[in-house]
Amino acid sequence: MTNPSPAARPCIGTCVEDVEVRGHIIDSLILPKILDSIGAGGGTFRIKEITIGQTPADPSYALIEVRADDEDTLQRILGRIADHGAVPTATHDCRLGIADIAGTFPEDFYSTTNQRTEIRLGGKWIAVQAQEMDCGILADPVGRTARCIPMTEVRSGDPIVLGHAGVRVFPEQRSRRHESFEFMASEVSTEKPKQVAIRQIARELRANREAGHRTAVVAGPAVVHTGSSEFLQYLVREGYVHLLLAGNALAAHDIEAALFGTSLGVRLESGGPVEGGHAHHLRAINRIRRAGSLRNAVETGVLASGILCDCVRHGVDFVLAGSIRDDGPLPDVITDVLEAQRVMREKLRDVTFCLMIATTLHSVAVGNLLPAWVRVVCADINPSTAIKLADRGSFQTVGLVTDVAPFLRALVEELAVMDSVGWPSQAVISQQSRL
């Protein structure tokens, strides 16, 4: 007879745990995901009780018995389905472990998702603040608070949540208001009706502005290369952008266009190369470095136009994160990647809508920092950008495969019409959401 592995702790008979899940678990496909996860994890299930909402507004409820051959398998299954909102009926307080090395979590730490999360402390459920994927949870048992914490910010002695016990997740569920263009989110395709989608994106942007909420734009240098800067500048000037996230390249080429009328040495008006134009981007960077900062350059008249100029003039926040290939870089670029991530994380805290345009690396980086309830639209000529975002956990991303120039032009045209007639107002949006 073979002795059981030390890693497997067999039960007497089969290990069983009852879990419950509630909300829009049918139309959001949460229940099928839970059942699939149980089977894929080596367990079996029995639905002991289920109540299905009779209208789209009614929540549903299911009580599920989960079975596995050993305790470790059961715990792995419970960990998987917890991310979909399945909570054991026999609840326990979360387990805490003390970080013994700065910049690292204790073993068996709970790895967060971008979904709303609560932990149980002292018999009460408390919300986890600063929700973000791929972090740990820092708990304060005395103050009864908890927040997501990146690995690099952990200090020795910090109490960190371990395992899945005492942790529950609330998956984002389908919103009736957004169904009109969520058909795009199921798959990324070049054959979707783009004008309908762009019109809905314009409505979302305008509703977000009217509600006093914040919109972030993540943009790549293709905005400048394609001659689309004027459209992004319109969004900045009209109050549709509250935070711009980009790299050294977007800013450098934007400034080059403002100072020399070229982008990478190619004249934007005619598309023809300029003699000596290959050095224009370096001369643009050098001029801003001599001014000391972008703000100083604008205030002293060195920089009189462009995306970054309009951001300074209209009080729009911007974060420029550097990379190893940057020329210069510009004095405003944050070259320490961890510091750039910290600043981006802080600036994104109260953003409710994010528009990503023609940049893969920055889009994925920002997507990793956003909670699941932030609406994300990714417009890129490369379909893999939106696919990568979804695959890495930013499942709320709506992907639109299109070149940046026609997308921004159509978006601005839609917004200009809406602004001229004052439509759609927030009242109209609210009325639509009830239909």
Q: Is 39 exposed, middle or buried (0-12, 13-18, 19+ CB in 10 A)?
A: exposed
Q: Where residue 92 falls among pLDDT bands split at 50, 70, 90?
A: confident
**Radius of gyration of the chain measured on its C-alpha atoms:** 25
- With a cut of 70, say whether residue 322 has pLDDT above it: yes
- The residue among 186, 212, 215, 184 whose CA lies nearest residue 199 is 184
- What average pLDDT score do residues 416-423 get? 78
Q: What is the pLDDT of residues 267-319, one digit of tens each?
A: 888 888 888 888 999 999 999 999 999 999 999 999 999 999 999 999 999 99
- What average pLDDT score do residues 155-176 get? 84
Instruction: Measure the CA–CA gap between 380 and 393, rounded to whole angstroms.
Output: 18
Strand partners, 399: 378
- The residue among 363, 368, 327 whose CA lies nearest residue 345 is 368
User: What tokens were used for 240?
Assistant: 């549709």
Q: Where residue 429 falls among pLDDT bands split at 50, 70, 90?
A: very low
Mean pLDDT for the chain overall: 88
**Range with lowest mean pLDDT among 230-244, 299-313, 335-349, 388-402:** 388-402
Q: What are phi and psi of 197, to 5 degrees?
A: -65, -45
In 55-175, where does DSSP find H-type helix?
A: 71-82
Instruction: Measure the CA–CA gap between 145 and 36, rounded to whole angstroms.
Output: 33
- Spell out the domains of the chain, with CATH numbers in brackets: 1-90 (3.30.70.2690), 91-172 (2.40.420.10), 176-434 (3.40.50.10690)
- What average pLDDT score do residues 358-370 get? 95
Q: Where residue 27 falls among pLDDT bands split at 50, 70, 90?
A: confident
- With a cut of 90, say whether residue 428 has pLDDT above it: no
Residue 11: per-residue pLDDT:
55
